């Protein structure tokens, strides 16, 4: 008998020993069958009380639904939020000190995820990212073991194809967590925020599409990570621009070589950043100041040979919070990109105000810090 069979039998035996047959039938009937973003049919308990986050940064998405109590049902999480998004973790920890006590089930990569630690926190539901960058992927052995132990596992996607998958992902989470109304309220806000870009572009008719290069985690890794088909690439297209990596990077995220970037000589340069001041790269996030953001962005843009780009020489240089690539909050990034690509057309659009409204209505922490910025030409 396999380990999986033993786990399944043990769990079934425990349930049969504790519950009358009538209650077992009632429990089975009350479980909802949902289709997740991996196309999997998942039976989710009618009442989810303990949530496992397969990527810690999913706390952003969960917060949009859970309101003032984002950690009330979080039983455990992967360590990427603490380890890779120090400003985000700091902002949540200041408001919710209990975040420190939530058990870690792994580190910052998928191969560090521990099924043993995950099962030890007794989750009803595990929420995983389709991208599988920092946690288990749909076809992983870890997911099979969790499901064999009776844990419902659903996959959402805010990274691979954010523009097509954010709405169904939020709707799925709303259904799974009993937060349908909250999910619909956010979806309405999300769609209205994007429509402020798409409607304006549609009314403008045929427009030149400026070229743009997004330098992901600029200054923190070998040059040059960039979005391809999906991810920020989708946001660029929606905002009326042409991604120089389109057709060069087949997946959502990849690498461009410097020679190609220089030969493309894009109209707009955007660097993403997430770490705090003094930790390298572009300083953007909850504790960033405008001065820190500008100084670090200028330093990133002046790295040879990228400083030879026409966009850099002419001062068409901008910075975006890196986590926009993997969060429903990317609606702010779409507005910022539209404003940078078509400044005259979107001169009255204020992405910062959109973000403030988003946080006032949906988020349990203040809208502090700097998340999008530009250098003066």
Reported as a single tens digit per residue, the pLDDT across 225-251 is 999 989 999 999 999 999 999 999 998
Task: Find the mean pLDDT for residues 307-314.
Answer: 96
Number of Cα atoms under 13 Å in the Cβ half of residue 56:
26
Mean pLDDT, the chain, rounded, equals 91
pLDDT for residue 3: 37
Bridge partners, residue 320, by sequence: 272, 372
* pLDDT(6) > 70: no
pLDDT above 90 as % of the chain: 84
* DSSP-based three-state secondary structure for 277: coil
* Structure-token pair, residue 272: 């993403």
Bridge partners, residue 318, by sequence: 270, 374
Length of the chain: 377
Report the distance separating Cα 164 and Cα 168, nearest Å: 8
pLDDT band at 276 (very low <50, low <70, confident <90, very high): confident
- Among 250, 255, 276, which Cα is nearest to 370's? 276
Task: With beta carbons less than 8 A apart as the criterion, state whether 285 and 371 touch.
Answer: yes
pLDDT for residue 133: 77
DSSP assignment letter at 110 = G
Separation in Å, CA 370 to CA 47, 60, 275, 311, 343: 38, 17, 12, 22, 20
Tell me the pLDDT tens digit for each residue of 317-342.
999 999 999 999 999 999 999 999 99
Task: With beta carbons less than 8 A apart as the criterion, state whether 23 and 46 touch.
Answer: no
Concatenated DSSP letters for 223-279?
S-EEE-SSTHHHHHHHTT-EETTTTT--SSEEE--HHHHHHH--SEEEEEE-SPTTS
Report the distance separating Cα 303 and Cα 358, nearest Å: 34
Cβ partners under 8 Å of residue 43, min gap 6: 31, 32, 33, 152
* Count of CB atoms situated within 10 Å of the CB of 228: 20
pLDDT band at 67 (very low <50, low <70, confident <90, very high): very high
Separation in Å, CA 68 to CA 71, 75, 84: 9, 17, 24
* pLDDT(349) > 70: yes
pLDDT for residue 27: 39
Task: Find the mean pLDDT for residues 304-324.
Answer: 96
Run of H or E including 77? strand 74-77
pLDDT for residue 30: 55
pLDDT for residue 232: 96
* Structure-token pair, residue 370: 């700097």
Report the distance separating Cα 340 and Cα 203, nearest Å: 18
Task: With beta carbons less than 8 A apart as the criterion, state whether 88 and 285 touch.
Answer: yes
* pLDDT(7) > 80: no
Task: With beta carbons less than 8 A apart as the criterion, state whether 156 and 162 touch.
Answer: no
Tell me the pLDDT tens digit for each residue of 120-133.
999 999 999 998 67
Phi, psi of 59 (to 5 degrees): -60, -30
Tell me the pLDDT tens digit for each residue of 131-155.
867 889 999 999 999 999 999 999 9
7 or 208, greater pLDDT? 208
39 or 9, greater pLDDT? 39
* Structure-token pair, residue 238: 């929606």
* pLDDT(113) > 70: yes
pLDDT for residue 10: 36
DSSP assignment letter at 102 = S
Tell me the pLDDT tens digit for each residue of 152-194.
999 999 999 999 999 999 999 999 999 999 999 999 999 999 9
* pLDDT(28) > 90: no
pTM to 2 decimal places: 0.90
pLDDT band at 14 (very low <50, low <70, confident <90, very high): very low
* DSSP-based three-state secondary structure for 156: strand
Cβ partners under 8 Å of residue 348, min gap 6: none
CB contact burial 331-341 (16+ within 10 A = b; e otherwise): bbbbbbbbbbb
* pLDDT(4) > 90: no
* Count of CB atoms situated within 10 Å of the CB of 283: 29
């Amino acid at each position: 008998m396999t380990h999986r069979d033993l786990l399944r039998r043990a769990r079934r035996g425990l349930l049969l020993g504790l519950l009358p047959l009538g209650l077992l039938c009632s429990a089975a009937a009350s479980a909802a069958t949902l289709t997740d973003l991996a196309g999997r049919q998942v039976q989710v308990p009618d009442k989810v009380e303990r949530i496992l986050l397969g990527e810690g940064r999913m706390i952003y998405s969960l917060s949009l639904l859970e309101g003032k109590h984002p950690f009330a049902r979080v039983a455990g999480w992967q360590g990427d939020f603490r380890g890779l998004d120090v400003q985000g973790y700091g902002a949540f920890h200041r408001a919710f000190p209990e975040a420190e006590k939530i058990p870690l089930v792994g580190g910052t990569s998928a191969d560090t995820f521990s099924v043993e630690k995950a099962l030890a926190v007794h989750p009803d539901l595990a929420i995983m990212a389709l991208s599988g960058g920092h946690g288990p992927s749909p076809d992983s052995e870890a997911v099979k073991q969790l499901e064999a132990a009776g844990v419902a596992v659903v996959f959402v996607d805010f990274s691979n194809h954010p523009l097509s998958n954010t709405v169904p992902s939020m709707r799925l989470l709303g259904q799974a967590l009993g937060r349908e109304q909250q999910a619909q309220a956010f979806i309405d806000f999300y769609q209205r925020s994007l429509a402020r870009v798409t409607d304006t572009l549609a009314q403008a008719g045929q427009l030149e599409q400026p070229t743009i290069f997004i330098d992901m985690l600029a200054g923190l890794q070998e040059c040059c990570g960039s979005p391809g088909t999906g991810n920020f690439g989708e946001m660029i297209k929606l905002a009326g621009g042409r991604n120089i990596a389109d057709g060069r990077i087949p997946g959502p995220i990849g690498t461009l070589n410097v020679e190609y970037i220089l030969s493309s000589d894009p109209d707009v340069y955007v660097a993403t950043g997430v770490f705090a001041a003094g930790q390298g790269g572009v300083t953007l996030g909850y504790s960033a100041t405008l001065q820190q953001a500008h100084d670090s962005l200028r330093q990133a843009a002046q790295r040879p040979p990228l400083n030879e780009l026409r966009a850099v020489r002419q001062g068409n240089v901008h910075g975006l919070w890196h986590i926009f690539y993997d969060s429903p909050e990317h609606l702010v990034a779409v507005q910022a990109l539209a404003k940078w690509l078509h400044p005259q057309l979107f001169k009255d659009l204020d992405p910062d105000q959109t973000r403030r409204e988003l946080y006032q209505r949906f988020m349990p922490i203040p809208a502090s810090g700097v998340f999008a910025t530009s250098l003066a030409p």
